[in-house]
């Protein structure tokens, strides 16, 4: 019976041009992932896989699991603590910490790794100061080596804890206010109320923030490669370039993708059937508990230390190195790298905003029925691209694009008698495509949030005046969405500027970016020369955080 009903619906279904466009976009976004899955059971690579399984694959698995465990615990501890303090307590500097704790998000993890390596190495300023102060020599003292797996965990924790902080702080402000007051009225102390009321209410936000941080950890290449920590991303790169086996690289990428999907499924299953709604509804001013004396000092330190180690110290080292070190790279080479980075980021941002607007607008226009469900499904498919690591997307894009290139070259040679070379995979088009697969979700979420703030009554009023879809978008939605579209473009722009794995694998010959330059110079231990490229990436990364912090400050005038 249900099959007959579905067939009847399909017979009368006439998709709109917006829905057809969304279907094409979702297909292109899903294509790299499908390509990776198609290579999972392909033969001809058993020797390579047996070699990897016998030598380095166990290390890939164990190191990746250890990274996830350490980073998950670290970001949860720092993110929840700082969110709880700034949302539900009042102490000196709270208003500054509310937005300043987001600043470490502007620093890529691999840039953080370069700076702390230079700071803590044997010839660095910290150990040099210790030897001068105490008269020590080499071998007289023990100092931890930052270029280890625990060191990589610390780098990721310093950079990624804002994911948990931002989501959990919002949950505390929106849900925990009344519940905390009720708990206090029943005689519960602050610590008991935190563990029995605040923490359970914030559980979905904690799980979502930790999941985001772990996906970024698994997607990273620059940090783990620089610290010589073998993970799936370094294995993919090694199988592709060192062993020259693209199918084996695709199979490793499929395993990494499976880990990411399991991570997402685990985050969903952890909620179970629990619901975390605020039954009272509406906004409620949070009554913050004032802290004084030692409690206030402890709160200030708990918020200041992540900010110090996650942003202030590495940013200061970068700035000092770029200004005072004679090896810092400026001039035409730096300008060429900046031009390449800005070109890729700008083109991807413009295309990403246009595609996100098409998808979000198509979902808004399809209000009910099969069209609405299909539009929602397409947007979710596009949203999954952000969960796929850049190295996986690079492999997934290059395999079908290279095959298409070879087919086109053969067709051209058969007709014109000359080989044109690789037209698609040798240029920036494939790289921009990979960026869009990876970061289109960021633009889509921003545009969807902007459209959600526009009441549907305005659409009905415009249609009653005879406007079509294009007219409503141009004359009603576009002016109201200006800020959201700018935010969407800015998010994609900054993400592309920081992206390293996909750029490293797919960039055309002799076409480097700031991220590639920073990684290459740092890998050659030329940290001073890498400082200018790293500093430029950090400065660009501050732009969306400034917008976000201003919105937080404007929205919370309490």
Q: What digits encode the pLDDT tens for the residues 316-374? A: 888 887 777 655 566 677 788 888 888 888 899 889 888 888 887 777 666 655 666 77
DSSP 121: S
Nearest partner of 83 among 175, 188, 21, 12, judged by Cα = 175
Does 258 reside within a domain?
A: yes
In a domain, 453, yes or no: no
pLDDT at 25 over 70: yes
The per-residue pLDDT for range 404-454, each reduced to its tens digit, is 777 776 776 677 666 655 666 667 888 888 888 888 877 877 777 677 766
CA atoms of 225 and 273, how far apart (whole Å): 40
What is the DSSP-derived secondary structure letter of residue 148? S
Cα separation, 255 vs 194, whole angstroms? 39
Q: Yes or no: say if 110 and 523 are a contact pair by the CB < 8 Å rule.
A: no
For the chain, what is the mean pLDDT? 75
Decide: 100 and 186 in contact? Cβ < 8 Å. Answer: no
- Is there a domain that residue 215 lies in? yes
Q: Is residue 391 part of a domain?
A: no
Question: Looking at residue 270, what DSSP letter applies?
Answer: T
Query: Is 90 part of any domain?
Result: yes
> What is the band of 198 on the pLDDT scale with cuts at 50, 70, 90?
low
The phi and psi torsions of 308 (rounded to 5 degrees) equal: -65, -50
Beta strands in 230-338 (DSSP E): 289-290
Name which of 545, 535, 541 is nearest 115 in CA terms. 535
Tally the domains of the chain.
1
pLDDT for the residue numbered 429: 81
Tokens representing residue 419 in the block = 């080989």
Give 7's pLDDT tier (boundaries 50, 70, 90): very low
Q: What is the DSSP string of 183-196?
A: HHHTT--HHHHIII
- Supply the pTM of this predicted model: 0.77
Task: Quote the longest CA-to-CA distance of the chain.
Answer: 87
CATH of the domain at 183: 1.10.3720.10
Q: For residue 484, tell me if it sits in a domain.
A: no
Q: Which domain holds residue 177?
A: 45-105+147-272
Q: Is the dihedral of CA 92, 96, 101, 104 positive or negative?
A: negative
Q: Has residue 400 been placed in a domain?
A: no
- The Cα–Cα gap between 79 and 161 comes to 5
117 occurs within a structural domain:
no
């Amino acid at each position: 019976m249900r099959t007959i009903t579905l067939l009847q619906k399909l017979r009368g279904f006439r998709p709109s041009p917006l829905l057809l466009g969304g279907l094409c976009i979702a297909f292109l976004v899903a294509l790299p992932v499908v390509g990776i899955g198609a290579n999972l059971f392909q033969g001809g690579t058993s020797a390579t896989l047996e070699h990897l399984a016998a030598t380095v694959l166990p290390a890939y698995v164990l190191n990746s699991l250890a990274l996830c465990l350490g980073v998950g615990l670290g970001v949860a501890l720092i993110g929840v603590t700082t969110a709880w303090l700034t949302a539900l307590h009042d102490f000196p500097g709270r208003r500054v910490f509310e937005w300043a704790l987001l600043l470490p998000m502007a620093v890529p993890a691999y840039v953080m790794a370069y700076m702390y390596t230079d700071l803590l190495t044997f010839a660095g300023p910290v150990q040099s100061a210790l030897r001068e102060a105490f008269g020590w020599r080499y071998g007289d003292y023990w100092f931890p080596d930052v270029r280890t797996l625990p060191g990589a965990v610390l780098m990721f924790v310093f950079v990624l804890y804002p994911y948990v902080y931002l989501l959990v702080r919002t949950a505390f402000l929106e849900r925990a206010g009344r519940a905390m007051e009720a708990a206090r009225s029943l005689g519960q102390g602050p610590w008991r109320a935190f563990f029995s009321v605040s923490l359970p209410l914030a559980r979905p936000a904690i799980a979502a923030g930790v999941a985001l941080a772990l996906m970024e950890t698994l997607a990273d290449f620059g940090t783990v490669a620089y610290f010589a920590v073998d993970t799936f991303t370094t294995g993919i790169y090694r199988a592709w370039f060192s062993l020259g086996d693209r199918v084996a690289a695709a199979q490793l990428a499929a395993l990494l993708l499976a880990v990411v999907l399991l991570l997402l499924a685990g985050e969903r299953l952890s909620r179970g059937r629990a619901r975390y709604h605020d039954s009272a509804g509406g906004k409620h001013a949070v009554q913050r508990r004032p802290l004084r004396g030692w409690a206030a000092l402890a709160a200030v330190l708990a918020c200041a230390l992540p900010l110090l180690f996650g942003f202030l110290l590495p940013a200061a080292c970068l700035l000092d190195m770029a200004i005072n070190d004679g090896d810092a790279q400026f001039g035409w080479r730096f300008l060429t790298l900046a031009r390449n980075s800005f070109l890729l980021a700008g083109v991807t941002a413009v295309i990403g905003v246009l595609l996100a607007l098409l998808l979000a607008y198509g979902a808004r226009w399809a209000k009910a029925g099969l069209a609405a469900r299909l539009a929602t499904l397409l947007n979710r498919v596009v949203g999954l691209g952000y969960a796929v690591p850049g190295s996986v997307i690079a492999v997934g894009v290059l395999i079908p694009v290279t095959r298409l290139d070879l087919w086109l070259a053969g067709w051209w040679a058969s007709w014109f008698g000359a080989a044109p070379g690789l037209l698609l995979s040798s240029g920036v088009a494939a790289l921009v495509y990979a960026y869009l697969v990876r970061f289109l979700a960021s633009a889509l979420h921003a545009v969807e949030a902007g459209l959600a703030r526009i009441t549907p009554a305005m659409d009905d009023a415009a249609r009653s005046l005879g406007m079509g879809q294009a007219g409503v978008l141009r004359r009603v939605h576009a002016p109201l969405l200006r800020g959201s579209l700018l935010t969407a473009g800015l998010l994609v722009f900054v993400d592309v500027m920081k992206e390293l794995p996909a750029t490293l694998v797919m960039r055309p010959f002799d076409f480097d970016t700031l991220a590639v330059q920073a990684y290459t110079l740092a890998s050659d231990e030329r940290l001073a020369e890498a400082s200018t490229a790293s500093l430029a990436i950090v400065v660009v990364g501050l732009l969306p955080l400034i917008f976000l912090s201003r919105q937080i400050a404007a929205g919370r005038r309490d």
